[in-house]
Amino acid sequence: MDNNEVVKKKYGAWIKKTPKGDVISFTIEGQKFNMWKNTFKKPESNQPDFQIYEDNFKPKDELEF
């Protein structure tokens, strides 16, 4: 491989319907993320259209006590 060659990586995302709205879930380099529509955004503001949160949810079975 040439040192100047750009390696492109491909990632996927999934849309889930929830009572709070649609959430887009995706994983990059093994880290999970969730993306939600920013419901607090005003038309004239410079806030982002979406908020991205790290998905660090662990089921009860995996929690340490």
DSSP per position, 5-42? PPPP----EEEEEETTEEEEEEEETTEEEEEEE-TT--
The residue length of the chain stands at: 65
For residue 19, tell me if it sits in a domain: yes
For residue 28, tell me if it sits in a domain: yes
For residue 37, tell me if it sits in a domain: yes
* Confidence category of residue 39, pLDDT binned at 50, 70, 90: confident
Rounded CA separation 50/37 (Å) = 4
Q: Report, as an integer, the average pLDDT of 19-30.
A: 92
Tell me: pLDDT of 62 over 70.
no
Q: Distance of CA 53 to CAs 24, 37, 46, Å?
A: 10, 11, 19
For residue 6, tell me if it sits in a domain: no
For residue 1, tell me if it sits in a domain: no
Domain range enclosing 52:
13-57
Average pLDDT, the chain: 86
Structural domains in the chain (count): 1
Q: Report, as an integer, the average pLDDT of 33-61.
A: 87
For residue 5, tell me if it sits in a domain: no
For residue 53, tell me if it sits in a domain: yes
- In this prediction the pTM is 0.67
